[in-house]
Structure 1
Amino acid sequence: MNKLFAPLAALLLLAGCSSGGNTDSKKLTVAATAVPHAEILKQAKPILAKEGIDLDIKVFADYVQPNTQVLEKAVDANYFQSKPYLDDFNQRHNTHLTVVTGVHIEPFGAYSRKIKTIDQLPDGAVVSLPNDPSNGGRALLLLARHGLITLKDPNSPVSSPKDITANPKNLKFRELEAAVLPRTLDEVDLALINTNYALAAGLNPTKDALLIEDKDSPYVNVLVSRDDNKDDPRVQALAKALTSPEIKTYIQQQYHGAVLPAF
C-alpha cells in the first residue's frame, strides 16, 4: 500500500512546492507621481521581486489623491510628497499618515521664458506659485532667501502671500495647482515649480532654474503609509529597496543633480 501511494505523494509534494512559490508572491500597491517617483519605484520593482513581492505602481497627476488613496486603503503606501507637505496634510485633515523613510530631495526652482537671470525680473512682475500651503510656502521661502520679498516669519514652511511684509518689486502672485505651473511659463514672468513637474515638462532644474534650493533643503521626499501598516514586511522591504545602493546610483546617474539621494 505504501509503495502504491509513494509516487502520488511525491507528485502532491512537488505540486505543493510549486504553488507555494506563487502564493509567496505578495502584492504591494503604491501611489506615486510620474517623475521621478514612479521612475524610481520601477527600479525598486526587481529588487522586491527577489523577495516575492509584486510592486504595483499607480501613477497620479495631482498631490491630493495619493494620500486619499492610502487613507481609503485603496493602496498600501505612497511616494510623492515632502515631509512638510505631509505634516500640513495631516494637520488640515486630522489624519495620521506616517513617514516610513526618506528617499530623495528635489531642489525647488524658479523658471522663466521671459528673462535669462533673476536680476532681469521687472517691477510688477507676475509670479505663479503652488496654491497648497506647503509648496506655496516653500516657493515664498526661496524668493525671500534671494531678497525678492520679506516674510513675517522667515522660517515658516507654510507662509502665503498675505504673510509678505516687504515686496520691493511689487510682484503680483498667481496661486495655482502645482501640476499646472509649467503651463503658465508663457503667461507669467516667473514660475515656482516643483521639480517633479519641471522634469515632466522637459525642464532641467540644474540648467534652467534661475533660482534653486541648495542640497540642504529640508524637503525630503518620503515613502508614506498608515499607522496600521507601516511595519508591514512588504512596506519595510520597499523602504529598504528605496534606500539601497542600487537606487542611490540610479538617482545620481539618471537625474544629474536635479534629484538628490537623501540617504
Structure 2
Amino acid sequence: MHTYMTYKKNKIIPFILTSVGLVLPAMALLSAPKLANAEEKFLIKVGIMSGEDEDVWREVVKQAANRGLVVKTVVFNDYNQPNEALQDGEVDANAFQHQPFLNNQIKVNHYDIVRVGDTAVWPIGLYSKKVKSVTELKTYSVVGVPNDPANEARGLNLLQQEGLIKLKPGAGIFATTADITDNPRHIQIKELDAGIIGRSVPDLDAAIVNTDWALKSGLSKADRIAQERVKDNPYNNFIAVKKENINAPWVKTLVASYQNDAVKSVFDKVYQGTGITAW
C-alpha cells in the first residue's frame, strides 16, 4: 500500500492505493497501521502534446519516479488546451510552448502561468514539395504561414531572413502581415491553422511549418528549404506552472527529471536532429 498526494487547485489531496487497486481517501484509513516501508510520493499531472513528445515524456516519467515524483501525462491535440487546463487546475504543469506563445495567451486570456525550466527548441522551417531552394520560388508563389500570432510572426521573420520579404523595423516577435514593407517577388501569404498547414504543403508552393507538425504530416528534412537560426532563438520551449506553485518542491524535481542525459538521449533519438535540447 502506498500513500500518494495529488495537487488540485492549490490543495494537497491525499489518497491511498490498496494492494487490490482500491482507491480510498486517506482519512478513511487513519486507524490503519502504517507500513514500515511505506513510501510517500507526490502525484502531478503534466499536459503535453500528442506525438513524438509522448515518447520523450515516458523517459521523464521514469526519471521523476527515481526522484520520488509520480508524473501522469495528459495528452492534448490542440495548442490552446494545455494552458486552459493548467489555469483551471486540471493539470499541474504543461510542457509544449515558447514564451511568445504564452505571452499572447496571457494577454488574451489573463492566465497566471509562468516558465520554470527550458526543454528544447524546434527551429521552425520553410517546407516545399515543389522547389528545392528558396531561390527557386517564383513571382506570385503562394506561401502558407501559421495563423496564430506567435507562430505567424515567427514564420514572417524566417521569410525575411531568407530575403523573401522585409518587415517594419522593430516588428520582431509581434510581426503580422501588416508589417510587410517590401515583397519584391509578390509572395502571396496564406494564413492557415498550424495543425493543418503541414498537410497543405503539396497544395502550396511552400509553407512555414512547426517541426512537430512537420513530423506528423510526413515532411522530412529533404522537404525543408530554410530554417530559422538556433542561436539566441526566443522560441525555446519550457515547462510551465501556475505562478502560485513556482516555489513548490515538486517543480524543481520535475525540471530536473527533464533536464538530464537520459532524457536527452531519448529526445535525440525521437527527433533525429529536428529538435535540440535547450538547457
Sort the TM-score into its range (normalised by shorter chain): 0.7 to 0.9
Question: 1: CA distance between counterparts of 2:164 and 2:170?
Answer: 13
Aligned alpha-carbon RMSD (Å):
1.7
Give the residue type in structure 1 aligned to 2:157: L
Give yes or no for the alignment of 1:17 onto 2:36.
yes
Listed as ranges, the gaps of 5+ residues in structure 1 are: 1-11
Deviation at 1:154, TM superposition (A): 5.2
Cα displacement string for residues 152-209 of structure 1 (whole angstroms, at most 9, x for unaligned residues): 135510211111011111111111211111111122111100111112223234x431
SS at match of 2:129: coil
Structure 2 residue identity aligned to 1:17: A
Provide TM-score, normalisation by structure 2. Answer: 0.83
Deviation at 1:132, TM superposition (A): 0.9
Which stretch of structure 1 is more off in the superposition, 108-117 or 36-45? 36-45
Matched, 1:191 2:210: no
| 2:63 counterpart letter in structure 1 | I
Matching residue of 2:29: none
Q: Report 1:92-171 matches (<5 A).
A: 92-153=108-169, 156-171=172-187
Counterpart of 1:60? 76
Identity %: 29
> Partner of 2:22 in structure 1?
none
Match of 1:210 among 225, 239, 243: 225
Whether the aligned pair in 2 keeps the contact of 1:28 and 1:235 (CA below 8 Å) is no
Considering Cα pairs closer than 8 Å and 6+ residues apart, tell me whether 1 or 2 has the greater RCO. 1
Q: What SS is found at the alignment partner of 1:185?
A: helix
TM-score, normalised via structure 1 length: 0.88
> Quick check: 65-74 or 116-125, which moved more?
116-125
TM-fit CA distance, 1:123: 1.0
> Whole-Å Cα distance in 2 between the matches of residues 49 and 16 of structure 1?
20
The aligned length equals 247
- Which structure has the bigger radius of gyration? 1
The more displaced of 29-38 and 183-192 is 29-38
Matches within 5 A, 1:246-261: 246-261=262-277
5+ residue gaps, structure 2, are 1-31
Paired residues of 2:129 and 2:223 also in contact (CA < 8 A): no
User: Distance between the aligned counterparts of 2:152 and 2:160, measured in 1?
Assistant: 12
Answer yes or no: is the 8 Å Cα contact 1:104–1:220 preserved in 2. Answer: yes
Question: Residue type of the partner of 2:264?
Answer: K
CA distance in 2, matches of 1:46, 1:155: 42
Aligned mates of 2:137, 2:64 — CA distance in 1: 48
Q: Quick one: distance in 1 between partners of 2:55 and 2:160?
A: 32
**Where does residue 249 of structure 2 map in the other structure?**
233
User: In the TM superposition, what is the alpha-carbon distance from 1:246 to its structure 2 partner?
Assistant: 1.6
Q: Out of 28-37 and 106-115, give the one that drifted further.
A: 28-37
Give 3-state SS (helix, strand or coil) of 1:214's partner.
coil
**Quick one: which amino acid aligns to residue 141 of structure 1?**
N
